[in-house]
Amino acid sequence: MSSVLALDNVTAGYVGDIDVLRSLSLTVEAGSITGLIGLNGAGKSTVMKAICGFLKPKAGRVVYQGNDITGLAPHHLSAHGIWYIPQESSLFPYMSVTENLRLPLEGLSRATGSPDRAEIDRRFADMLEKFPALRPKLKAQAGDLSGGQQKMVEFAKAWLMRPQLCLIDEPSIGLSPKIVEEVFGWIKLFAAEQMAILLVDHNVRRVIAMSQRIYVLSLGEITASGTPEDFQGNLHEQVKSWLGINF
C-alpha cells in the first residue's frame, strides 16, 4: 500500500517554546485504518490540528499524497479530499439537518465545479440509504438532536464528501453503548470504501482491533508502533504500561 498521509518529524505547540509534539513521524496508508492511542494530554488532538491546519508546526512537514500541505488552511482541506470529524459537534445548531448535510458539498461544488447538482442529489439519496435513521430528522434543527444523532449527522456529512483521507477524533466519547456500536460500524463502512482513516479513540481495545497499524503517543512522541498482531505480545504489555491502563 502507498502512503496517503505522512507526518515527517513534526514539532508543534501552542505557547512559546513549549512543544506538545516533538519530532513526531507517522504514516497513514491508502485504504487502511491507522490508530493513534495515548493517554489524555499525550497530544492526540494536537496531531489532528497540525494535519488540519488549525496549528502550524514549528518544524517538520505534513505530506498528503506526496504534496507538502503543512499549514494549509482548514477550509481548503475538502478540495484536497481530506475530511475531519471532530470530537465536538461541528454542526450549525439553528440550521436544519438537511442544510448541515448539503452545505459543505454545495460549497465544494461552487469552489471547484464538482460535484454537479445531479451528483449531489445522487450522493444524498445514497447517504440516506446508509443512514436511514436520518430520514425523519431532515427538517429538524441540528441543535435539537441528541448527541448520538448529531454524531450520525457528522458521519453522514463525511460520507457525502467522499474523502480520500478521513480524520476521526474520539468518535465514541460520551455516547451510549448502542450508539458506540453504530459509530464503529460507520467507520468500518468508510474503510470498506477504501478511505484512508486516522482514528483516535479512548477505546484502546477497539482501536487496536480495527486498525491495520497502531501508533502509541506518549508526551508528544511516538513510543511504539505495530500491527494488531504485534500488540498481542510483548509490545502489548509495554503499551499497557505506557498508557497506565488494563485492557
Domain identity same for 118 and 77: no
Does residue 241 or residue 5 have the better pLDDT? 5
Of 162, 187, 214, the one marking the end of a domain is 162
Domain identity same for 150 and 170: no
Of all residues in the chain, what percent carry a pLDDT higher than 70? Answer: 94
Its domain, for residue 188, covers 1-81+163-247
Does the pLDDT value for residue 242 go beyond 70? no
Of 139, 162, 185, the one marking the end of a domain is 162
Domain identity same for 168 and 74: yes
Among residues 19, 4, 1, the alpha carbon closest in space to that of 69 is found at 4
Domain identity same for 106 and 223: no
Q: What pLDDT is recorded for position 104? A: 94
- Report CA-CA distances (Å) from 3 to 12, 17, 192, 196, 216: 22, 31, 18, 9, 19
Among residues 195, 201, 205, 225, the alpha carbon closest in space to that of 213 is found at 225
CATH of the domain at 235: 3.40.50.300
Of 111, 145, 162, the one marking the end of a domain is 162
Q: How far apart are CA 164 and CA 26, in angstroms?
A: 17
3-class DSSP state of 1? coil
Instruction: Give the pLDDT mean for 72-94.
Output: 94
Domain identity same for 168 and 151: no
3-state percent helix, strand, coil for the chain, nearest multiple of 5: 45, 25, 30
Domain identity same for 155 and 203: no
Domain identity same for 226 and 130: no
Domain identity same for 70 and 171: yes
Instruction: Give the pLDDT mean for 13-36.
Output: 93
DSSP E strand stretches across 158-236: 165-169, 196-200, 213-218, 221-226
Q: What pLDDT is recorded for position 181? A: 96
pTM (2 decimals)?
0.93
Q: Tens digits of per-residue pLDDT, 48-60?
A: 999 999 999 999 9
Domain identity same for 70 and 173: yes
Q: What pLDDT is recorded for position 85? A: 97
Domain identity same for 11 and 129: no
Give the pLDDT band (50/70/90) at residue 246: low
Domain identity same for 119 and 57: no
The count of domains in the chain is: 2
Flag the least confident range among 19-33, 142-156, 230-244: 230-244
The b/e string for 68-82 (b: 16+ C-beta within 10 A; e otherwise) is ebbebeeeebbeebb
Q: What pLDDT is recorded for position 232? A: 76
Domain identity same for 93 and 210: no
